[in-house]
Structure formats: structure tokens, C-alpha cells
Structure 1
């Protein structure tokens, strides 16, 4: 397998990038510990026509810098002072779009991920079936925001898997009622159908 090239992330349509990330593999290698899994759920966010992005674009300090770099960097921040969310910057530097990785199917470093998740068994969907759960399992924290996804700390690879449209469920994104009806109803959440590792959020 090879790392996804920067051209994959720098395409102008974050919705297509989010869809195409299904079936790709994501890895972290922190303190010599390799962990990773197959992406089974994503959400797209756009700087145009998507009011939910406006709060992100107002972020100051280091956490928001990745939004203003060309696509292919990790954009990481915490919610509820607890959960780290793993977003990937896409598009061009002056067109800040992102894709949120919402769930992965764990494949590599299962014992490490189990330990990071407080002993949750590796065959339990609670290990990585949610955006805050998968970052904990992969050891990802906001300190890694801005990481180049061509680096050796955090990256994605193409496993050669082709996902048929009939195997993809598109629906509205999670928890965006604050951003208005338009943003809340955009069908920009993508999941693999009948995959038990997708998040239970509705």
C-alpha cells in the first residue's frame, strides 16, 4: 500500500473526498507504536454553503492553522474538553474545507488500542465506532494538529479497495442543528452499509 498523495486531498469537492476516503486505511505511529484501521464513516465540511464551518474558520491559535494550509494536514481539536476530533484539511489554502473521520474498523495494533481505550475489547465496536473513540484508540491528540499526512506520525493509505455506491449510505451529519436547517440536512455523512464499526449516532 502507498500513502494517499496530496493531490487526493487537494481536490475542490470535500464531499467527494469524504466519499472516497471510505475503505482507505489510517495509521498513527506514536512512540514507536503502530495502530490503524479501515475508514468506514466520514463527514464533509465546506467553506461554501455550509454554516457549520463558520465556527471553525473563526478559531484562533494553532488549532485553526491547518484550515488555511493546502489540503493534506490534520486539523485536530477537542469538544466537551474531552474528545479529540480528527479532521483532514482539503482543497486549497484559500478554500478551507475538511473531512471528519467518524469511525474506523480496527486492524493494526489492537492490544495498544485496547489499552488506550481503558480495556475495551478489540472486537467491541465501542473501541473505534465514533470520532472521539477512534482518536483515543489511535493516540491522537490536539498536539498533532497541523501534522502533514505525508509524515510518519499520522497518514492514510490506499488499500486498493473499491467501494460500490450501493454499499454507501449517505445521510445528514451529526449534531449540527445549531448551524441552521440547511447545514443540518446536507447529506454529507457517509457510512459503509451494514458495517458494525460505524458510529451509532443518528
Structure 2
């Protein structure tokens, strides 16, 4: 048996273990084996490192959640995983196309920026806005709130926040994106 055939059998077995018993060890082995391949695939397709990382993260999340949908009679395990990655890529591209009004931290914290414009909020409103922002941050899930505090309030880069939290940079970006979207929706209400 060649190494590729053995790897395909192992990947299928790992998928079945994930689907049957939510085996985290199997998922970890699958992740270690598959994520680098997916990253190379995504880099070639997108030519954007952050989007490629996000595709890998979304793909691996969907593999965890939808492993029960894999059917070995319809194709190889890696083929199924690449299909999930392709769909994740299309979803990401559609999202970015429709979300041209991407929420930036500067949009939410105009008074906290270092260069203050004279046409921004008067000084007497600063404590009110700061209080409201703190309340919005406190309503977020703890992982998202930590990322918002680090990046938007403390001024850390995505990489620095990733290292401080011990999570992949794609996770930091996803948490920030979700948190800012939740905060924007709360402000719109």
C-alpha cells in the first residue's frame, strides 16, 4: 500500500471517529495532517494570506461540525475536505463582496484615536462614549472582548494579540470581525 492510500484511509477513519464520538484526538491528528495542505491550496487560490488562513479555519470548523456528512462511497476523504474548503472560499468571497462597508475599529472609536479631528465629538461627550463602548465590550463573549481590548484599545497588532492569547492569527481576526459586527449592530439599534 502506498503512503497516499494509507493517508487516505487514515483520513477517512479520522473523519468517522470525529463523526461518531466527537473524538478530539482524531480531530487534532486530522488538523495536523490536513491544515497545511489546505493552507497551500488556499494560498494558491486566493493569493492573500489572511483570507487563506480564514478559509482553512472555516474549513476545519465545518469538518468538525459536519464530519457526519462524509460518505466514503461518494469519494475520498481528502476530496470531500477540499470540496468543503472550496465552498468555504466561495462563502468568504461572497461575504467580502457584500460587506464592502467593513467595520473598522476607527469607525467605532473616533475619540480614542491619536489624531483627533476638530469636527468629532466635543470633549464633554467623551466620558459618555467611553462608558457606552465599555458596556458594548462587556456584552461580548470573553474571547471576543479580549481581542477587542487588545487590538482596539491597547493598539496591539493582530500578530501580537495572537501571540498573547496563544491562538492562530486567523482566530484573532475572526473574533475581531465578529465582535465589531456585534458592536455595530448594537449601536445601530
Which category of TM-score, normalised to the shorter sequence, fits these structures?
A: under 0.3
Larger Cα-atom Rg? 2
- TM-score relative to the length of structure 1: 0.19
- TM-score relative to the length of structure 2: 0.20
More strand by share: 1
